[in-house]
Each structure stands twice: as structure tokens, then as C-alpha cells.
Amino acid sequence: PMFIAFDGFHIWVTNYTDPGTVTRMQANNCGMTTAIATDRYPFGVAFDGANIWVADSQTNKVSKH
């Protein structure tokens, strides 16, 4: 795990591996609910009130999830 973000209900954790994933966990019990695939190396993660944004350090891209 590298970075985390909180959206009010879930904790989002970047897993800096190749290929990388972002794991969504339930905030009330930290149970993993889903993992989303990313480009290669998810580094930063942020919540804008509606979407999760993930920055990839290898491809220099930012993606919306």
C-alpha cells in the first residue's frame, strides 16, 4: 500500500505493483469490497466528492474511477 483516500464511506488504497490496483475497503470494518485495475503503478489517489482519481507514476496519467 502506498496512499489512501476517504470518500465518506470507503477507504481507497493504492497498491504499488505492476500491474497495480486500487482497493476499496469498507470504512466501518476495513473489509475489502473491490479492487480496480489501473495502468501500471498507482501512486496517488484522491476523491473529488463524486469520483476517485488515481495518478500513475509510470505512465504519467491520471484516471477517473
- Kindly list the distances between the CA atom of residue 11 and the CA atoms of 8, 32, 33, 37, 59, in Å, as whole numbers in the listed order: 8, 9, 10, 16, 24
pLDDT tops 70 at residue 59: yes
* Band of pLDDT at residue 12, cut at 50, 70 and 90: very high
Q: So what's the pLDDT on residue 18?
A: 60
